[in-house]
Structure 1
Amino acid sequence: MWTTKVGNRETQGWWNNERQYYTDYRGNSALNGAGSLDITARRAVRDSRHPCWPSGSCDYTSARLTTEGRVALGWGRIDVRAKLPTGRGLLPAIWMLGETEEIWPAQGEIDIAEVVGHEPRTAYGTAHGPGYSGPDGIGHAVDLGAPASSDYHVYSVVKEPYRIHWLVDGRPVYTLTPEMLPAGSLWVYERGMHLLLNVAVGGDWPGDPDRRTRFPATMSVDYVRMYGTGWIDGQMVHSPS
């Protein structure tokens, strides 16, 4: 189901000037022996020479896992129970991209949950498309009541025809419909979308880590559940809701 993306420089810091090099090393993504998947950002080993954008070597390693080309959700629900790391310069994310070769943001992006490390109690859910992407994405912020790193939460999206719902711990928090987009903008979510899990370090949004940022920084994923209609290895499937 999962594949691992690798690199940094050739993707211009993953298009966000990020400072981590994504690897397929077990030190960055592995089952932890207690039933969870750990995605861990670490300080890079000295002289590791992982090429970083725009030059030099990345100071950190991490992992970016995706179901691209393997599993995509058409309509239905995704639940991800996870504990997300916090700290200045960290940006853990649970998100989706359109299963298409169109260039972002035309392919569509749904951020199920992002935590900007210096805002530890806040989880962001956002949609990005042509005319409303990056800082102009449309979404919401949820106060978790405590740092996202202190406990597990279930972060969810329900994807219906021309309607997207976000939930946290089963509680509805936001709904987006085409009428809410900027005038003339396109709704680009009526397609299969694959899932991504990653922990980014640095970049345009979270900024750089400081001396108080703790490493290793781990996203622990208890489970990922998909319900509804979608595609597995190119074959359409339907699971009970």
Structure 2
Amino acid sequence: MQHRRSHPARRVPVLVAAGAVAATAALTLTALTVPRGGAGPASSDNADLTAASGALVWSDEFDGPAGAAPDPANWNHETGDHGWGNGELQNYTDSRENSALDGNGNLVITARQEADGGYTSARLTTQDKVEQAYGRFEARIRIPTGQGVWPAFWMLGDNFPETPWPDSGEIDIMENVGHEPGTVHGTVHGPGYSGANGIGASYGHPRGGAFTDDFHVYAVEWTPDSITWSVDDVPFNTLTPADLGGRTWVYDHAFFMILNVAVGGAWPGYPDETTRFPQQMVVDYVRIYDL
């Protein structure tokens, strides 16, 4: 995925090494008893998920009143309508119309078509607030659908933008292009393997259905020597340094997380007469576990 965009000046990052818990407000320790695939709207795909084998070191469960903003201790809003390096159409805003809690334990990111024909949406990052090297990073999400709709849960290296993309590294945990509701993608981008040359794999709905119809748990398990992608605890790809064919493995430092819904772009294409707005990405939780 080509996400090459500008960012505001960054503060000193909070680095949480694998197996460590930082005693700082920038990364809040959460109770360690929450299982993977736990609390939230019922989903038959998640009913048999096992408890976490590692300690839960951070989570946002999106508990709060309907209409509240996502916790600013965890999330930044990136804003703007400059195409984000991909020819996207949306204007990312910090309006509650585009990102808010629903009062039922979910964060809702809403892509809208406005009265003037333009599009608005939201892009949330944990940059400078929650950044970690290694672990299991997962989110339970119901994705939106439609031609030109592009939801994603992904990560960028904490040295971005001082180290420019793609040298800073990118791990796409889950992407979907809305005209393919039964397929999600997991990819990495780094020096010599970025954009259309990113390295990854796709995962098809196991029953031939649509991922848009229910919540699913999208995760990576990331160690110094490998990254494994899974959906509902079913692994579908593992990447190691040897798989890069001599190109540089840049997944040896902390990354931050991103949730967004784009509209349009070179890969998903653009909305057409079949696309219905608003479209919502509903996020039950985001969690980080030690491995």
Q: TM-score band, normalised by the shorter chain?
A: 0.7 to 0.9
Tell me which of 77, 80, 89 is aligned to 1:4.
77
The residue type paired with residue 95 of structure 1 is W
Q: Does 1:117 align with 2:187?
A: no
Whether the aligned pair in 2 keeps the contact of 1:19 and 1:60 (CA below 8 Å) is yes
Equivalence for 1:18: 88
Tell me which of 186, 199, 202 is aligned to 2:264.
202
Equivalence for 1:53: none
Q: Distance in 2 between matches of 1:91 and 1:225?
A: 22
Equivalence for 1:142: 203
Task: Report 1:62-101 matches (<5 A).
Answer: 62-100=121-159, 101=162
Aligned sequence identity (%): 53
Structure 1-normalised TM-score? 0.87
Q: Distance in 1 between matches of 2:271 and 2:137?
A: 31
Structure 2-normalised TM-score? 0.72
Tell me which of 48, 59, 63 is aligned to 2:118.
59
SS at match of 1:149: helix
The residue type paired with residue 34 of structure 1 is N
Equivalence for 1:106: 167
Q: Distance in 1 between matches of 2:92 and 2:204?
A: 29
Q: Distance in 1 between matches of 2:241 and 2:114?
A: 43
Aligned-residue Cα RMSD (Å) equals 1.0
Equivalence for 1:221: 283
The residue type paired with residue 262 of structure 2 is A
SS at match of 2:134: strand
Task: Report 1:121-136 matches (<5 A).
Answer: 121-136=182-197
How far apart are 1:182 and its partner, in Å?
3.3
Deviations, residues 18-50 of structure 1 (Å, cap 9, x unaligned): 00000000000000122110001000232xxxx
Tell me which of 186, 207, 218 is aligned to 1:155.
218
Equivalence for 1:41: 111
Whether the aligned pair in 2 keeps the contact of 1:132 and 1:182 (CA below 8 Å) is no
Q: Distance in 2 between matches of 1:75 and 1:113?
A: 17
Tell me which of 100, 103, 121 is aligned to 1:30.
100
Equivalence for 1:235: none
Whether the aligned pair in 2 keeps the contact of 1:36 and 1:223 (CA below 8 Å) is yes
Q: Distance in 1 between matches of 2:254 and 2:231?
A: 22
May I ask how many residue pairs the two structures share in their alignment? 214
Q: Distance in 2 between matches of 1:168 and 1:224?
A: 14
The residue type paired with residue 127 of structure 2 is E
